Amino acid sequence: MESFFDYKWTNYKNIGLVGDENEAIMAQLPVFYKIRIIRDFLFCEFLHKFKKTFDIPNYDCKNKHARYTWYNEEYYNFMFDMLTKLEPRMEEKNTVLFDENEEVNEVIFFDFGHYGVGFEINKKLKVAVVVNVPTVIGAYELTMYHRTEYVYKTLKTRCTGFFIRRRNWKALFALHPAIADEM
């Protein structure tokens, strides 16, 4: 339990952004500096690992293969809101993340470790796929109101990364429908 809290407080990137005083300071900064703080300092490594996840096509643009960038106001607001809602996540080895037919209450972004996806037969887990990170778990199920179809379990290593709670994920998609529709 203590190692969990040590990990959480060591890796909580938004600690300097929460609270009335810090939020007031961030609100006064020009967008350029907010982008530099969030994208280039706090979440640089995370965004590099999940580059393909957040490479979203912009179908409203005239250019055929246009992508959203940080200088597009919709995308900037979406990314800022999403990144400021991320919380650290650490799961020890051999931990079941989601069981079959379980409701998903969070979207997990693992950037270290290995986990297995499989199914249970006669009370024994059969791992069908071993996933190397970085990867996202639960986004589809949470967005589309589906229960999990498989068992997700950490294997021989500890898995670390970030997660977003259900209410924050739903609020994010409600606030930014143009970006959410493209994901």
Three-state DSSP class for residue 111: strand
In a domain, 78, yes or no: yes
Q: Is the pLDDT of residue 133 over 90?
A: no
Q: Edge-to-edge, what's the strand order for the sheet holding 96-98? A: 96-98, 151-154, 114-121, 124-132
Q: Do 75 and 98 fall into the same domain?
A: no
Domain limit, last residue, from 63, 87, 111: 87
Q: Range of 112's domain?
A: 88-168
Residue 151 CB burial class (10 angstroms; 0-12, 13-18, ≥19): buried
**CATH code, domain carrying 150:** 2.60.120.10
In a domain, 177, yes or no: no
Distance of CA 160 to the CA centre of its chain: 12
In a domain, 116, yes or no: yes
Q: Do 6 and 78 fall into the same domain?
A: yes
User: What local confidence, expressed as pLDDT, does residue 16 receive?
Assistant: 79
Distance of alpha carbon 111 from alpha carbon 77, whole angstroms: 23
Q: Which range (21-25, 39-43, 73-77) has the least confidence?
A: 21-25
Distance of alpha carbon 156 from alpha carbon 113, whole angstroms: 8
Q: Is the pLDDT of residue 4 over 80?
A: no
Distance of alpha carbon 16 from alpha carbon 22, whole angstroms: 7
User: What local confidence, expressed as pLDDT, does residue 61 receive?
Assistant: 79
Q: Do 70 and 94 fall into the same domain?
A: no
Query: Per-residue pLDDT tens for 74-84?
Result: 999 999 999 99
Query: Per-residue pLDDT tens for 80-116?
Result: 999 999 999 999 999 999 999 999 999 999 999 999 9
Mean pLDDT over all residues of the chain?
90
In a domain, 174, yes or no: no
Count of CB atoms within 10 A of residue 166's CB?
A: 14
> Angle between the 166-175 and 73-83 helix axes, to the nearest 10 degrees?
170
Q: Do 79 and 63 fall into the same domain?
A: yes
Overall number of domains in the chain:
2
Domain limit, last residue, from 30, 53, 87: 87
Domain limit, last residue, from 72, 87, 102: 87
In a domain, 132, yes or no: yes
Q: Do 75 and 129 fall into the same domain?
A: no
DSSP of 83-108, one letter per residue?
HTT-EEEEE-TT-EEE-TTPPP-EEE
Average of per-residue pLDDT across 19-30: 86
In a domain, 126, yes or no: yes
In a domain, 179, yes or no: no
pTM over 0.85: yes
User: What local confidence, expressed as pLDDT, does residue 1 receive?
Assistant: 66
User: What local confidence, expressed as pLDDT, does residue 52 receive?
Assistant: 92
Average of per-residue pLDDT across 51-65: 86
Alpha-helix runs per DSSP H in 18-86: 20-28, 31-35, 44-49, 73-83
In a domain, 176, yes or no: no
Q: Is the pLDDT of residue 49 over 70?
A: yes
Q: Do 62 and 117 fall into the same domain?
A: no
